[in-house]
Chain A
Amino acid sequence: MNIQDMILTLQRHWSQQGCILMQAYDVEKGAGTMSPYTFLRAIGPEPWNVAYVEPSRRPADGRYGENPNRLYQHHQFQVIMKPSPDNIQELYLESLKALGIDPLKHDIRFVEDNWENPSLGCAGLGWEVWLDGMEITQFTYFQQVGGLECKPVSVEITYGIERLASYIQDKENVFDLEWTNGFTVKDIFYQPEYEHSKYTFETSDPDMLFGLFNIYEKEAHRQMENGLVHPAYDYVLKCSHTFNILDARGSISVTERTGYLARVRNLARKVAKTFYEEREKLGFPILNKKEDVNHD
Chain B
Amino acid sequence: MTNRDVLIEIGLEEMPARFVTSSMNQLAEKIEAWLHERQIEFSGITAFSTPRRLAVSIKGTAQFQKDVNEEAKGPAKKIALDQEGNWSKAAMGFARGQGVTVEDLFFKELNGVEYVYVNKFIKGQEVRNLLPELKDLITSLTFPKNMRWADEDLRFVRPIKWLMALYGEEIIPFSIAGVQTGNETRGHRFLGESSVIQTAGEYEAKLKSQKVIADPAERKQMILSQIKQIEKDQNWTIPVDEELLEEVNNLVEYPTALFGTFEEEFLELPEEVLVTSMKEHQRYFPVKNKEGKLLPFFVTVRNGNDEHLDIVARGNEKVLRARLADAAFFYNEDKKTSIEDSLKKLESIVYHEELGTLAEKVTRVRKLTSLIAETWGLNAEEQKLADRAAEISKFDLVTHMVYEFPELQGHMGEKYALLKGEDARVAAAINEHYMPRNAEDSVPSSSIGSIVSLAEKLDTITACFSIGIIPTGSQDPYALRRQASGIVSILAENNTDVRLEELLESALSIIEEEKLAKDSVENIKKELLTFFKARVKHLLNERKVRYDLIDAVLENEIGSVSSLVERAEVLEAKRSSEGFKETVEALSRVMNISSKAEIDVAIDENLFENSYESGLNKKYMSILDEYASVKSEEERYEVLASLQPEIEEYFEHTMVMADDETIRNNRLALLSAVTKAIRQFAEWNKIITA
Contact = CB atoms under 8 A, between A and B. Distances in A.
A133 B316 contact: yes
A25 interface: no
B315 A112 contact: no
Contacts of B353: 255
Interface string B482-497: 0000000000000000
B145 A125 contact: yes
Interface stretch (A7-15, A101-109, A228-236): A101-109
Nearest to B256: A107
A153 interface: yes
B149 A141 contact: yes
A132 B149 contact: no
A132 B150 contact: no
Contacts of B318: 132, 134, 167, 170, 172
A253 B311 contact: no
B350 A153 contact: no
A152 interface: yes
Contacts of B151: 83, 151-153
Contacts of B300: 107, 133
A131 interface: yes
Given A132-B311, A134-B318, A104 B304 contact: yes
Contact of B319 (A85, A86, A105, A133): A133
A223 interface: no
Contacts of A133: 282, 284, 300, 315-316, 319-320
A167 B190 contact: no
Interface in A116-160: 125, 127, 131-134, 141, 143, 150-153, 155
Chain A's interface size range is 35 or more
Interface residues of B, number: 46
A143 B153 CA distance: 12
A255 B350 contact: yes
Contacts of A104: 190-191, 304, 307-308
B190 A103 contact: yes
B399 to A, nearest CB: 16
B149 A106 contact: no
Interface in A160-186: 167, 170, 172
Nearest to B158: A125
B149 A107 contact: no
A143 B340 CA distance: 46
B319 A132 contact: yes
Interface stretch (B9-17, B541-549, B668-676): B9-17
A95 interface: no
Contacts of A84: 149-150, 159
B190 A108 contact: yes
Nearest to B16: A112
Contacts of A125: 145, 147, 158
Interface of A: 67-69, 83-86, 89, 93, 103-112, 114, 125, 127, 131-134, 141, 143, 150-153, 155, 167, 170, 172, 253-255
24 contacts: A67-B329, A86-B159, A105-B307, A105-B312, A106-B308, A107-B316, A110-B51, A112-B14, A112-B16, A112-B17, A114-B145, A131-B315, A133-B320, A134-B319, A141-B149, A153-B147, A153-B150, A153-B151, A155-B149, A170-B318, A172-B318, A172-B321, A253-B348, A255-B353
A-B pairs, top 4 by smallest CB distance, nearest first, are: A132-B315, A112-B16, A110-B14, A254-B350
